[in-house]
Amino acid sequence: MPIDAQPPGRRGTVGHPYSPLNLRLVLATFGLVTSVVFAVLLFRADLPLPAWLFVFLAAVAAVDLVVIQRRRHARGGHHSLFE
């Protein structure tokens, strides 16, 4: 049985594998939302050091969202989440 880059029947080829940008978009959005929620809760609980850590994580997730959207736009085609 040959070992291919993609499982049989999946989109993509060895030279052009299928991109996981939609999964990254969902995970980055989840990370942004949960980081913001935890940061707000920690600021309200008067715990500023862990709250600032979550603010930093939220900023990283926001930058990742921008990068993902730019790559999705550069890829072209329709921009459905369920491509």
Divide the 83 residues of the chain into consecutive groups of 10 and give the mean pLDDT of each group. 58 65 92 98 97 98 94 75 61
Identify the pLDDT of residue 4: 58
**Residues 13, 1: Cα–Cα separation, whole Å:** 17
**Residues 2, 11: Cα–Cα separation, whole Å:** 17
Q: Minimal CA–CA distance to 83: which of 20, 7, 24, 27?
A: 20
Do residues 58 and 39 lie in contact, with contact meaning Cβ atoms separated by under 8 Å?
yes
Q: How many domains does the chain have?
A: 1
**Residues 36, 20: Cα–Cα separation, whole Å:** 24
CA 49: distance to chain centroid?
Answer: 25
Identify the pLDDT of residue 73: 85
- What pTM did the predictor assign? 0.74
In a domain? residue 7: no
In a domain? residue 12: no
In a domain? residue 14: no
Owning domain of residue 62: 21-74
